[in-house]
Structure 1
Amino acid sequence: MRISDQNLSYVVWGLGATQIIGYGTLYYSFSILAPEMATDFGWALEWIYGALSIGLLAGGFAAPLSGRLMDRFGAGQVMAVGSVAAALSMFATALAPNAAIFVAFLLVMEVASGLVQYNGAFALLVQVAPNRAQRSITHLTLIAGFASTLAWPLTSWMHTDLSWRTVYIVFAAANLLICLPVHWKLSRLTRQRMTAKAPQLDPVAIEEVDTPLPPEEPLEIVEGSLPQADRRRGFIFMAAGFTLMSFVLSALLVHMVPMLTAVGLGTAAVLVGTMFGPAQVFARFINMTFGKNLSPSRLAILSACALPMALAILLATAPWLAGAFLFAVLFGAGSGLNSIVQGTLPLTLFGSEGYGALVGRVSAIRLVVSAAAPFIFAYVTEQFGVTTALGAAIIIGVASVLAFAAVARLADK
């Protein structure tokens, strides 16, 4: 038995909705609300981003454990627990009476984010239907690409009349009342798959096939393409590529609107920032339609190339509005394709067995390094100017291209 394509599409759409809410409320909203947080606690703005970096760091350290838990108990159950933790920690952060308590609950919130965002969603899709996971991951990222497009203007609109604390309370309710029921429903699929020797899914969500697999065989499995002898080097290069690219993305996405303002775009910064989401979606749509024969390793190189190109265009043309829009489109395209590759490249190279733990290890390395990105970018901008900060980001982006090129060489051997 296998989950039907129709019911798999319901799973993807449900996860798409929770990813929009999860990324929008737990990540993208922060840069809009950070200035008032800094004023509220009497901190310099870069220290507020430093607190976020500590939270991202904690999430990185927790990623291997969460990946193992997803493999053992099912990604759906872990995501359901994560929804509760995200909602409660966001609510507690909103009520924090002082900076110390604010940082403590922000740390918990970022750890919970790792349970409900892409790592968990990708693991769930691999567990439910490994042989169709690459297509499902592409479709999911296509939907979730609207997170920033919705979150930045929505948060800005809410923040005109509401304090950052009230906005966080509203966002906490969204995680509890919308994301939790969806993740709990989906947990039935992965829970039964993890606990049953011969997976027997809910009759509503499966269809009979003509030749069922023997009970002792897994329902579906994907074998990794890398030979065992190359897997250690492949993992190192892959992790380095994702880590360097995530550093650039983390630094720029958290600071997107303030950074665009700093390069001279003024009130147009929010408008330019809203192009990021549609660019992600458009790049994923193009890849889904025309990139079926493009390997994940080649797609990784393309996604990595887009980031330094986008930043170079911004530096060369700012404050020209057309140049800023081109930056947003290229940067969004690189980010959008990277989200696909984060799910498909490990699956293609290393297979579906132990996928959650593998992705958790990659995420730990990636998040521990990129956790410092918002703070470093804010500090460099304050001390040396936004031009220097963007120049450093370009160099790091080029290094990520070289790492993925090394992965492609191994994959093509």
Structure 2
Amino acid sequence: MPTPRNRAFLVFGLGLTQIIGYGTLYYSFSILAPDMAADFGWPVEAVFGIFSASLLAGGLVAPRVGRWMDRYGASRVMTIGSAAAAVILIICASAFNAATYVAGIVAIEIVSALVLYNAAFATLVQIIPGNAQRSITHLTLIAGFASTIFWPVTVELHHYLSWREVYLIFAALNLAVCLPVHLWITRMSRLTASTNPASKLAGIEATGGIVLAEHRRRAFLLTATGFALQGFALAALLFHMVPLLGAVGLGASAVLVGTLFGPAQVLSRFTNMLLGRNISPLVLAILSAAFIVCGASVLIVSGDWIAGAILFALLVGLGSGLASIVQGSLPLFLFGPSGYGEMLGKLAAVRLAVSAAAPFAFAVLIEQGGARVALSAVVVLGIGAIVAFTAIGRWPRHADPR
């Protein structure tokens, strides 16, 4: 097993690459999209439609990427992904026709499957299986600052540079920071496997899943259902956070209230890091969905009352923060580390396929039925996720491996 110092460097290094990965490949897009649309003479909606299609494409390749991580090592996949991300960002920045641009944006989200959370979670499970659940919490805490850092950074860069030049800078970040870090982690992974295989196997045995073999398929279907329903609700709320708050009557205060989401997300991860050692990922999954249900319910009742809107943003942020942890820790808790990469890939495929439709579907609900109808749909979806997660614990199971 890696030394405590190397484990700390591993989590910090992955956290740094997650900040850069999410910042350059995901969060920056909404800021640069209007300039991209203007560059090609398209409506902004068309550019976001391409982005939704790219998310769907990323979900479709996720199971195959998961199998690659199990077979070749997740850190090696991340190393290749860092180089590929830089190349594709350069291609996008150099695209002066529609076909190349569309292919580049779709390719960005496909490459994201190689370097973002699922790959980082699998890397932790493969290198430090006995401490992976705790390390996943630490990792998501660090990575939670991606939007906080890259939204203002992208805005500031875009004041002076075109979206193409910003993408070139982001390509350089992936090459200069993420690639060397992932190379170092790959080397550490090989050394760990070759110098102490017995310890590694012992760690794997210590983190066996709680689901009995005869219930694995049913538990997987319920987990996928819970993730999909929760993912749709979160994607809808996050994409439309500020317009939704405006629709309930907050006006100019909508932007200020929306900014509370990020700190609440980080707070939930920090609190779980300090106090959540004895809380199972299954309970965290239920809590994360419950926070989202409570947040949407508060906004339905409070309307344009500013205190209610603030509580809504905080509750949704708490739920989203826990959901990121559960995304990696719940499959490990339920099914164990064997085939972990492929399991994450299959779950991501379902979640992303459903979430890709959320921005459009939620916009239609707001337009046709109003904010309260749209929020009521979120409440129903969140309750469905709670039911799915709760049902997983109904059958006989192994003892909690922790």
TM-score, structure 2 as length reference: 0.90
Equivalent residue, structure 2, for 1:200: 195
Equivalent residue, structure 2, for 1:207: none
Equivalent residue, structure 1, for 2:63: 64
Is the Cα contact below 8 Å between 2:212 and 2:396 reproduced in 1? no
Equivalent residue, structure 2, for 1:106: 105
Equivalent residue, structure 1, for 2:141: 142
Distance 2:298 2:390 in 1: 23
- In terms of mean alpha carbon deviation, does 278-287 or 40-49 score higher? 40-49
Q: Aligned partner of 1:236: which letter?
A: L
Q: Structure 2 unaligned runs (5+)?
A: none
100 and 337 in structure 1: CA distance in 2 versus 1, 3 angstrom threshold: same
The reply on whether 1:394 has 2:379 as its aligned counterpart is yes
Is the Cα contact below 8 Å between 1:225 and 1:411 reproduced in 2? no
Q: Aligned partner of 1:167: which letter?
A: V
174 and 138 in structure 1: CA distance in 2 versus 1, 3 angstrom threshold: same
State the secondary structure of the residue aligned to 2:394: helix
25 and 256 in structure 1: CA distance in 2 versus 1, 3 angstrom threshold: farther
How far does the alpha carbon of each residue in 1:125-174 deviate from its partner, in whole angstroms, 9 at most, with x for none? 00001110011001111111111222223323333343333332222222
Is the Cα contact below 8 Å between 1:224 and 1:352 reproduced in 2? yes
Q: Aligned partner of 2:219: which letter?
A: G
Q: Aligned partner of 1:352: which letter?
A: P
Equivalent residue, structure 1, for 2:208: 223
Aligned length: 397
RMSD: 2.5
Equivalent residue, structure 2, for 1:279: 264
Superposed, 1:131-210 pairs within 5 Å as 131-191=130-190, 199-200=194-195
Q: Aligned partner of 2:184: which letter?
A: K
Distance 2:155 2:242 in 1: 11
Equivalent residue, structure 1, for 2:14: 15
State the secondary structure of the residue aligned to 1:119: helix
Distance 1:189 1:116 in 2: 17
Q: 1:365 aligns with which of 350, 356, 363?
A: 350
Distance 1:5 1:392 in 2: 46
Is the Cα contact below 8 Å between 1:153 and 1:270 reproduced in 2? no
The reply on whether 1:213 has 2:212 as its aligned counterpart is no
Amino-acid identity (%): 54
Q: Structure 1 unaligned runs (5+)?
A: 202-211
Superposed, 1:299-338 pairs within 5 Å as 299-338=284-323
99 and 387 in structure 1: CA distance in 2 versus 1, 3 angstrom threshold: farther
Distance 2:99 2:380 in 1: 35
Distance 2:153 2:250 in 1: 20
Distance 1:329 1:279 in 2: 5
Distance 1:6 1:83 in 2: 24
Equivalent residue, structure 2, for 1:292: 277
Equivalent residue, structure 2, for 1:124: 123
Q: CA deviation at 1:186?
A: 0.8
Distance 1:120 1:392 in 2: 32
Equivalent residue, structure 2, for 1:204: none
Is the Cα contact below 8 Å between 1:50 and 1:374 reproduced in 2? no
State the secondary structure of the residue aligned to 2:161: coil
TM-score, structure 1 as length reference: 0.88
265 and 39 in structure 1: CA distance in 2 versus 1, 3 angstrom threshold: farther
